[in-house]
Amino acid sequence: EIAQCLVGSEMCIRDSYTVYDKKENLHDETKVARGALGHDPVTGAISFPIFQATTYRHIGIIENTNYNYSRIINPTREEFERTMAMLDHGYRAFAVSSGMAATSLVLTMLKPKEHILVSDDVYGGTVRACDEVLKYNEVEYTQVDFTDLEEVKKNTKPNTKMMFIETPTNPMMKVADIAEICKYAHSKGITVVVDNTFLTSYFQKPLDLGADIVVYSATKYIAGHNDVLAGVVVVKTKEQADYLNLQMAIYGACLSPMDSWLALRGLKTLAVRMDRHNENAKKIAEFLRNHPKVKKVYYVGFEDHPQYDITLKQSKGFGGMISFDLGDIKTVNKFLEKINLILFAESLGGVESLVTHPATRTHTEVSKEAREKLGITDTLLRLSVGIENVDDLIDDIKQALE
């Protein structure tokens, strides 16, 4: 009977468009809080169940429930994927075991002798994937400043097949004009991938701006509580989905049912969390800029940020990320020793405020020379502003600086 019920609601479960159509007119705040299906069609449970099963009983040779084995398909993961695809206006989403699994999965689209352009200032793990995996597979890569379209054009080769953009970049907060880059890339038949981890679809929808694929470290804002590692790839076409579906079956990087549920639960509060991260970060960036011990602040919400106009054009918010340079290593050491409420830890995007030291933590894969060129000095710190009371956070920064 349960199987029949699932088959009966197949239109709802399997045909993603039916789900999206039903929610098309709703706002993102409603979509995240309620999810794609939002409840279990069998029992009516409003917390989508954790289907902790690896395999599924078949009805017969011909009749089936569409579920067979959890590496290939799992109802909990599917609900998370459907919700992510719905939010990004994609054709399909794939939930994987980490943000790096999402990036690596997309990089498998490149064949030997092809070339990819990658943001010069990306997450260190992405650089490592390019160094270790792409080179080994004879795929050429060049890092480029995507804020400069002329540089992008100059570095595009006849065999360039993909552009991998992180915007805003990690940790220098550079902003690339997604629509302009896509226009150029598409005139050359190049696929554009955007790592949208910092802003999420709540603030920025790369597919609507022309991009072909979006990747996330869902470990960050999507799940939002520093308690689950996850990644997501959202694609625009059936062809891309078919390719990735096959790779998922081969590599088996799928997100577990429990982690899919945690990510889905975190996602419910994405809108309120992002609004609060945004609000807190604005005040903290301003405070840092006015503090005499802070040499420079990198924050996309400053009106004098070099790409402020682009941010206003393509994003609905500035996010919760700030980098700042203290200019003196002794002050950095003291600051990290004294900071108390804000935790000195890697990662970002959770409800807890975290501060990290990119040169020795997140960007060790980038050579010192390349780091210095980008501005990732030994005295740069990156702050992921959480959702705590902003005055408490400012007091903590103030005492640590003093």
Rg (Cα) of the chain, in Å, rounded? 21
Give the total of residues touching ligand PLP (CB under 6 A): 13
Integer CA distances (angstroms), 134 to 12, 105, 142, 215, 218, in order: 39, 12, 11, 18, 23
Check residue 201 for interaction with ligand PLP (CB under 6 A).
no
Residue of 350, 38, 20, 375 lying closest to 200 (CA atoms): 350
**Binding segment for ligand PLP among 94-102, 112-120, 138-146, 250-258 (CB under 6 A)?**
94-102
Check residue 123 for interaction with ligand PLP (CB under 6 A).
yes
Token pair, residue 18, equals: 């039916």
Token pair, residue 224, equals: 């939002």
| Catalytic residue status for 325 | no
- From 56, 67, 91, 123, the catalytic residue: 123
Check residue 120 for interaction with ligand PLP (CB under 6 A).
no
Minimum CB–partner distance for residue 123 and ligand PLP (Å): 4
3-state secondary structure at position 176: coil
Check residue 99 for interaction with ligand PLP (CB under 6 A).
yes
| Catalytic residue status for 220 | yes
Give every CB contact of residue 311 below 8 A, 6+ residues apart in sequence: 168, 175, 300, 301, 305, 318
Q: Is the separation of the CB atoms in 164 and 127 below 8 Å?
A: no
- From 14, 34, 71, 296, the catalytic residue: 71
| Catalytic residue status for 221 | no
Integer CA distances (angstroms), 186 to 24, 180, 223, in order: 27, 10, 32
Tell me whether residue 376 or residue 401 sits nearer to ligand PLP (CB atom): 376
Minimum CB–partner distance for residue 5 and ligand PLP (Å): 35
Number of H helices, E strands in the chain: 18, 12
Minimum CB–partner distance for residue 113 and ligand PLP (Å): 26
Residue of the chain from 114, 121, 177, 195 that contacts ligand PLP (CB under 6 A): 195
**Binding segment for ligand PLP among 44-52, 93-101, 108-116, 281-289 (CB under 6 A)?**
93-101
Token pair, residue 270, equals: 């994405």
Tell me whether residue 103 or residue 191 sits nearer to ligand PLP (CB atom): 103
Phi and psi (nearest 5°) for 235? -120, 165
Show contacts with ligand PLP in window 229-248 (CB under 6 A): 229, 231
Residue of the chain from 16, 156, 160, 170 that contacts ligand PLP (CB under 6 A): 170
Q: Return the residue matching tokens 């690339």.
A: 176
Q: Return the residue matching tokens 């998370």.
A: 80
Minimum CB–partner distance for residue 196 and ligand PLP (Å): 9
Check residue 217 for interaction with ligand PLP (CB under 6 A).
yes
**Binding segment for ligand PLP among 96-104, 182-190, 204-212, 311-319 (CB under 6 A)?**
96-104
Check residue 197 for interaction with ligand PLP (CB under 6 A).
yes
Maximum CA extent, the chain: 73
| Catalytic residue status for 148 | no
- From 92, 174, 220, 371, the catalytic residue: 220
Which residue stretches of 14-158 are H helix? Answer: 16-23, 28-34, 75-88, 99-107, 124-129, 135-136, 149-155
Check residue 75 for interaction with ligand PLP (CB under 6 A).
no
Catalytic positions, written as ranges: 71, 123, 195, 220
Binding site for ligand PLP (CB under 6 A): 98-100, 123, 125, 166, 170, 195, 197, 217, 219, 229, 231
